[in-house]
Amino acid sequence: MNRFVRIFWRLFFSGLALVILILLLANFGALGEMPSIDDIENPTANLSSQVYAQDGTLMGKYYLEDRVNVEYKDISKHVINALVATEDKRFYKHSGVDGKGLLRAFSHFGSSGGASTITMQTAKNLFTENWATKNFLLRGIQKIKECIIAVKLEQHFTKEEIATIYLNTVAFSDNVYGIRNASKTFFQKEPDRLDISESAVLIGMVNGPGIYNPRRFPKQSQERRNLVMSRMVEFGSITQADYDKLKKQPIQLNYQKLDETTGLGPYFRMILGEEMKKWCKDHKKSNGDNYDLYRDGLKIYTTINPRMQVYAEEAVAKHMSYMQKILDNQSDIKSGSVWNDHANILENAMKQTDRWRNMKKEGIDETEIAKSFMTPTRMKVFAWNNNRNKDTVMTPLDSIKYHRQMLETGFMAMDAQSGEVRAWVGGIDFKTFKYDHVNFNTKRQVGSTMKPLLYSLAIEEAGFTPNTTVYDQQQSFGAYGKVPATTKSCSGAAMPMSSALAFSKNCATAYIMKQLDGTGNNAAKRFVDFLNNKCGLQTKIEPNPSIALGACEISLYEMMQAYSMLPGRGFNVKPMFITRIEDRNGNTLQSFTPVRREVISDVTAYSMIKMMQGVMQFGTGRRIWGYGVNGEIAGKTGTTNDNSDAWFMGYTPQLLCGAWVGCDDRFIRFKATEIGQGSSAALPIWAYFYEKVQNDRNIVGIDPGATFVKPDVMPNDISFDQLNGTTPPLGAEGEDMGNGTSKDYEIPSNIKPEDIGAESQITPADADKPVTKPADTKPPVTKPTTTVPPAKLPENKVQPQPATKPPTIPTNNQQPKAVMPPKKP
């Protein structure tokens, strides 16, 4: 017996020494990296970066794990009670490791529940890896590490703090991490407002995010919720009566998950994300590492106005759906003949599809792959409806044609003085068409929208005035050719420069260009220098005389900056869409202010404003008054040769907006000049947008009665030569290349603009309020809105000039200005 006793004690103490040795080795990192005391005192987890609109509305997030931290005081007591009752009943009694739980787990081999405490699970979430491995040895080592870290966590944090850290790091269903995101995703509530049932639903997900997902498996989730509530009864945090009442109720979800395709302004957020990645590369944290947009929980405050953003998306949807119907009715689109000479484009498009790539990986011959594109298939395609899609049957090749024949657009609105971007719509549907048509890298020919910039230079530096006589004649620039290319649009008449702009006279514009410097190509060089070095255009523009007519490619983003000098009283301002960036703790990392500089004089700017008001009152932009807008509006239409690009740049004293419309493949275009021009294809987007903005009393800073400020020293009033009292018809502003007219085909009478909802989904700052888009809260307008489809406006009749100053909305009816969430100390 003595021998066996000695062996027992030897084994016991050897085992004890081995356990102590393993614990020491694990503690000092010999069995894998362990967190330092500093890491434990400052636990971190991947946090999603959040994007906020001007009024504090959450627009969207950038994340690898959708996680946002909250404090203990911001979590409902029902969540805490449900967590402790379900996961760790002795949470408030143990010191990180539950001895009773360990004994139970070992004695029943885990069949009666695991031994992990909330503190151990927190340690696992924060500091351990391979916790899901099936390797028994590795799992054992991980458990040892979890126990050691759990004890250290208990030494450095209170129970409330540990519960908060756990709830901020635990995974819920649908790749959502943390109690705040779970609460916002499944119930559209802040976590401090969750009731008993909602709390039990969320805590019920913790042990099985996949099988207890209330969106996908409501029955299993409800059963799990009831189990959690029954444990809350045992724990004493709710009564039996509460349980009996709540267990019969179904789960009431209010589900909305923000990802790259949902949320406010998806095109804008994509571009913002690219800008933020550049910012992160140039900025470092205190430890010397660069910031990570997807891990560091940055808070990005933007200038986007949620109401304007929704109005912009609604304006795009209303007009583009209408224009698409007209294009689809065009003979070359209906017959498919538009593709006759472009087989190479279709072939390249096929090779870029997942279908082609996957079949290629499987070793299928390209001939057979091509045949598969001719087989009718059930599929979902983009469609102009509130869902932005429809189910149909077509061949994959026809699907490619169908989507490439969609008209695209870019629309941007910004504060005319500060340059703060209020709305950004980069296309017709972000889910289907990711390519953004507003940003600097997307360039299209600008057509006649270039003319106001040339006219500004002529007034500022060449002694012109709006009343200076110009001649509508083709101009020769020697070896650099003639502008325009033909004399077809040249009337040969003399007219004041104001009329040349109002009616977008190409030949008169070429004359003005020639007067800058008649030697060779010097005039073009002088104009390019003005565009790049003063107007802020970064695009390299070749100094050809034809740039006077907009024969160069520039982005809408750049054109907005160039035009800003006009409503800005001579000051150019760079578009700005970020106001400040904060770290996860609310510390300001960088603030942004407008970048302005004087380009032209106040007198020149006002002269251009008056001439561009003439464009709207008498010239190519006069159809705008058929859309219910009023007040002082100045602008310029633009159309390129063959109607490949349609533009409208317009502004009021407070707001500058630009719109471009066209197909990505430029050979897909309107054949009729009356429909493809800027006044028909692009201007209505601006009009639909502004009609809603000017009548929305909830938008601060927009006064429909505002007027352009006239400088104290101003020359004579501007005269508009109306060409012997007649106004020319609205026609293409590029050279007439024999495209035909609308009479070449008929527009069905049932094609009319229709209201289609905005693409964005909004998550209000006050998440307990009903989720309604701003358009639904617009007060009654004081003037009925008249919708005039572009192709129906009488073309030889001058539209009535609007009242100089419409009634001003009483200030006592305006809501106080919304403010951003306060910064944390």
> In the prediction, which pLDDT does 67 show?
80
Same domain, 161 and 255: yes
**Per residue in 797-823, pLDDT tens?**
333 333 333 333 233 333 223 233 333
**Per residue in 13-24, pLDDT tens?**
666 666 666 656
Is 415 a member of any domain? no
Same domain, 105 and 236: yes
Of 59-68, 145-154, 214-223, 399-408, the one with minimum mean pLDDT is: 145-154
Mean pLDDT for 486-492 is 88
Same domain, 535 and 596: no
Same domain, 218 and 338: no
Is 411 a member of any domain? no
How many domains are contained in the chain? 4
Is 576 a member of any domain? yes
Of 231, 259, 287, which residue is a domain's last?
259
Is 571 within 8 Å of 565 (Cβ atoms)? yes
Is 782 a member of any domain? yes
Residue type, 483: V
Start-to-end C-alpha separation, the chain: 70
Is 266 a member of any domain? no
Q: Using the 8-state DSSP alphabet, how is residue 425 labeled?
A: E
Same domain, 132 and 107: yes
**pLDDT level of residue 8 (50, 70, 90 thresholds):** low
Same domain, 143 and 191: yes
Is 406 a member of any domain? no
Is 368 a member of any domain? no
Is 418 a member of any domain? no
Which token pair is 220? Answer: 């299993």
Element (DSSP H or E) covering residue 59: strand 58-62
Q: How many CB atoms lie within 10 A of CB 463?
A: 9
Q: Which residues pair with 702 in a beta bridge?
A: none
Of 518, 533, 551, which residue is a domain's last?
551
Same domain, 222 and 86: yes
Is 118 within 8 Å of 83 (Cβ atoms)? yes
CATH code of the domain containing 679: 3.40.710
Cis check for the bond before 484: say yes or no (omega within 30 of 0): yes
Mean pLDDT score across all residues of the chain: 84
**Per residue in 577-586, pLDDT tens?**
999 999 998 9
Of 490, 523, 551, which residue is a domain's last?
551
Same domain, 59 and 69: no
Range of the domain at 489: 448-551
**Per residue in 448-483, pLDDT tens?**
999 999 999 999 999 999 999 999 999 999 889 999
Is 126 within 8 Å of 37 (Cβ atoms)? no
Mean pLDDT for 307-320 is 97
CATH code of the domain containing 111: 1.10.3810.10
Is 791 within 8 Å of 730 (Cβ atoms)? no
Look at residues 322, 363, 163, 225 and name the one whose alpha carbon lies nearest to residue 682: 322
Q: How many CB atoms lie within 10 A of CB 104?
A: 16
Question: Phi/psi of residue 451, each to 5°?
Answer: -60, -45
Model confidence, pTM? 0.81
Question: Phi/psi of residue 763, each to 5°?
Answer: -105, 100
How far CA 200 is from CA of 180, 183, 229, 290, 707, in Å, comes to 15, 11, 6, 39, 58
* Residue 264 pLDDT exceeds 70: yes
Report the percent of the chain where pLDDT is more than 90.
64
Same domain, 622 and 657: yes
Look at residues 425, 382, 426, 322 and name the one whose alpha carbon lies nearest to residue 675: 322
Same domain, 442 and 456: no
Look at residues 718, 267, 635, 706 and name the one whose alpha carbon lies nearest to residue 452: 635
Is 684 within 8 Å of 449 (Cβ atoms)? no
Look at residues 98, 514, 584, 513 and name the one whose alpha carbon lies nearest to residue 294: 584
Is 232 within 8 Å of 180 (Cβ atoms)? no
* Burial (CB count <10 Å: 0-12, 13-18, 19+), residue 93: exposed
Q: How far apart are CA 455 and CA 458, in angstroms?
A: 5
Same domain, 691 and 791: yes
Mean pLDDT for 598-623 is 95
> In the prediction, which pLDDT does 552 show?
95
Same domain, 341 and 222: no
